[in-house]
Amino acid sequence: MENSEIRHNWSQEEITNLFALPFIKLLYQALAIHQKYFPNATIQISSLLSIKTGSCPEDCAYCAQSSHHKSMIKTHDLLNIETVIAAAKTAKANGVTRFCMGAAWRLPPEKQFEQILKMIKEVKKIGLEICMSLGMLTKSQSEALKIAGLDYYNHNLDTSPEYYKKIISTRTYDDRINTLKNLRDADIKICCGGIIGMGESVEDRISLLHQLVNFPERPHSVPINYFIPMQGTPLANVNSIDPLDFVRTVAIARILMPRSFIRLAAGREKMNDELQALCFCAGVNSIFCGEKLLTAKNPTVEKDRQLLQRLGFIWM
C-alpha cells in the first residue's frame, strides 16, 4: 500500500479483496493512509449552483432534470451573470474555496458557451477556484474553458461500465471517457466519481473503482454520491443501500486514491451525524455546503459547521 498513489494497474481481484476485509480492519487501513497523505484535519469546502436546471435531453434514470421523466421540478434556462456572481460572493462569505456550477445539458450549446466563459472570468475575480459540470465537451470547448481560467471540471462515470446501460441509454460510457480525455489534454483538473445505491451490485462498485483508479491521471477530486431516489424517475423506488456498505466504498476509494480529495457529495441530507462521521473516518476530506445541490436538499451551512467543529475538523 505504500506506493499505491503511483499505481495504475490495480486489478479487480485486489479491489475485491479489499471489499472482503472486516469492516474495522478496512476502516483502520483507510484512516492510516488518509493520515499519511492528509495529516492536517482539514475539510475542503465546495458550493454547487445549478446555473441551468431541467429540460435535459439525456435519460439518466436517477435524474430529476431529465426531460424523459415527470419529476415536476422547477426548470430554468441559463442564469444571468449577475445572479451567478451574487451566489459566488455568498459562497465565499460562507468560507467556500471552490465554486461549482452545473448545467443540465448533453453538450454546452455554442450560442451560450461564450456566456459560460464570461462567468468563469468574472467568478475568478472574486478569488474562488472554479469547477463546472456542463455535460460532454469537445476538444475545442475544453481548451476554451482552460484559457478562460477554469480550474476543475466535474464529469462522473456514475457507475460501472457493466451497469451503465441500465442507467443511461442516450450516451455511452466511451462518451464519458472521451470527455475526460479532452479535459486531461487541456490540462484541466478532473473531478470524477460515481453514485452508490442505484441498485448496482458490489461487483459494479468494484468495477467503478477499478475504472477510476486506473485512469492515466487520478481524479483530483472523487465525489461519492449517496443515492437519493427522486420522484418521477425510474429509480424512485429503489431500496436504500446499507449505510455500512456505503462507508466501505468510501474507505476503499481512499485506499486506492490516497492523494485525491474524496468528496461526500449528494445524499448527506439523508445521513445522520454518526454516518457522516464514519465517512470522515474512512477518508472523506471534502464536502459540498449549501442548502441545495442542483435539485437535491443538503444540510445547512450552520449545521455543517457545527458537525465539523464537534469532530475537530478545520473548515478549509
In angstroms, the first-to-last Cα distance of the chain is 28
Q: Which residue carries 475526460 as its cell?
A: 180
Q: State the catalytic residue, choosing from 171, 176, 191, 248.
A: 191
β-strand 292-293 against 296-297: which pairing, if any? antiparallel
**CB atoms closer than 10 angstroms to residue 202:** 13
> How many angstroms separate the CA atoms of 286 and 293, rounded?
15
Q: State the catalytic residue, choosing from 56, 192, 279, 281.
A: 56
Q: State the catalytic residue, choosing from 98, 100, 205, 248.
A: 100
Residue 289 annotated to the active site: no
> How many angstroms separate the CA atoms of 262 and 278, rounded?
13
Q: State the catalytic residue, choosing from 98, 131, 192, 218.
A: 131
Are 168 and 55 contacting, i.e. CB atoms less than 8 angstroms apart? no
Compute CA 20 distance to the chain's CA centroid, rounded to the nearest angstrom. 25
Q: State the catalytic residue, choosing from 60, 192, 279, 281.
A: 60
Residue 199 burial by CB count (10 A; 0-12/13-18/19+): exposed, middle or buried?
Answer: middle
Q: State the catalytic residue, choosing from 218, 248, 263, 268.
A: 263
Residue 191 annotated to the active site: yes
Residue 131 annotated to the active site: yes
Residue 60 annotated to the active site: yes
> How many angstroms separate the CA atoms of 236 and 70, rounded?
11
Residue 63 annotated to the active site: yes
The catalytic residue positions are 56, 60, 63, 100, 131, 191, 263
